[in-house]
Amino acid sequence: MNITTAENDIEYILFNEEQIKARVTELGAELAEYYKGTTPVMTGVLNGASIFHSDLVRAYKGHLFIDFIQVSSYGTGTSSSGTITFKKDFGTDIKGKDVLIVEDIVDSGLTLKYLKEMLKDRGVKSVKTIAFLNKYECHPRELDTDFYGFKIENNFVVGYGLDYAQHYRNLPYIGVLKKQVYES
Ligand code: 5GP
């Protein structure tokens, strides 16, 4: 991989800064309505969801707690098996809490499915999921997240926290990565 400037590696922009901001504002309002009268633990999945999470919690006008987890997903090649382990566990006791898992993107849906089951076993009051992007063709409807920002087709996207080999997370937009970047 030969990275010169990050911008040069983007085929096209899928969602620009204004579109992202507008959608995150809507999601904040939707979640505030959903969680009215409760104090959810908005839990960002590091590293990919860190930027979405920080925007989302500021768009949410209500009481909340913040936490972060980091998981390793084991699979073959580019597909996830859905079997995960915690690289960083919750920093707070989540028993009896309303937990919202904040993810960058849902692809096969297996990571979030597994995580949800794990949290139910830990005695949370409720567990819901939100992903900023939803690769809707890549998982059955029952593995959809409870909330999402945008549906996208099955392209490899970067920016707004999403990486390729840890690069591009700082791009302020969501872009489709040029194929030659990961095929070379
Ligand atoms: P799954 O839903 O298949 O269990 O895994 C979702 C994870 O796969 C995401 O959190 C993200 O790390 C990775 N992923 C899936 N699609 C993409 C993509 O288009 N771009 C990037 N950067 N990561 C992706």
Give, for all 184 residues of the chain, the pLDDT tens digit.
Answer: 554 578 889 999 999 999 999 999 999 999 999 999 999 999 999 999 999 999 999 999 999 999 999 998 765 545 566 678 889 999 999 999 999 999 999 999 999 998 999 999 999 999 999 999 999 999 899 999 999 999 999 999 999 999 999 999 999 999 999 999 988 7
- Helices within the chain (DSSP H only): 17-34, 50-59, 110-121, 179-183
Considering the candidates 107, 121, 144, 146, report the single residue annotated as catalytic. 107
pTM score of the predicted model = 0.93
Q: Which of 131, 93, 95 is nearest to 111 (CA)?
A: 131
Catalytic annotation present for 107: yes
For residues 120 and 101, the answer to whether their CB atoms sit within 8 Å is no
Judged by phi (left if over 0) then psi (alpha if -120 to 50, else beta), residue 161 lies in left
- Ligand 1 lined by 163 (C-beta under 6 Å): yes
Q: Which of 42, 60, 31, 65 is nearest to 147 (CA)?
A: 31
- Ligand 1 lined by 67 (C-beta under 6 Å): no
